Amino acid sequence: MAAMDRSVAWRAALLQLALVAAFAVVLGVALEESFFEDWGWLAGPGVWAVCALAVAASLRLPALPVLLGAALSGLPSLATVLVGVHWAGTPLAVVLFGAWCGGLAARRSPEQRVATAAD
């Protein structure tokens, strides 16, 4: 089994979940349903990616690998959207994203771990 920093995995998953939920509430209140019918295919992945970048910055993880993990972990959500149960894939996507970030953190050099822990 691959090494994983469980602390980073949990923090990444919870932060991604909180940020996505906050964006969903704000956008849901601010925009009409027709926006999501027309632009949801772009807004959803865009919000997911922006939130992933915020997680990367917060946890001092490399942005591009985190974005790759966000894209891969978002695939279960895409499958559930296609079958008509939009939010059903989100919990699995959040768990997968957290695991990806935990794996990235475990591969950091000892010097990077010390620098991150000191901040």
At 15 the pLDDT is 98
Looking at the predicted structure, is the pLDDT value of residue 106 above 70? yes
* Averaged pLDDT of the chain: 90
> Using one digit for the tens of pLDDT, what is the confidence trace for 5-40?
999 999 999 999 999 999 999 999 999 989 988 888
CB 47 within 8 A of CB 23: yes
Q: CA 45, 46, 52 angle in degrees (round to 5)?
A: 90
Amino acid (one-letter) located at 3? A
At 87 the pLDDT is 82
The residue extents of the domains of the chain are: 6-118
Residue 60 Rama label (left phi>0; alpha psi -120 to 50; beta)? left
pTM comes to: 0.86
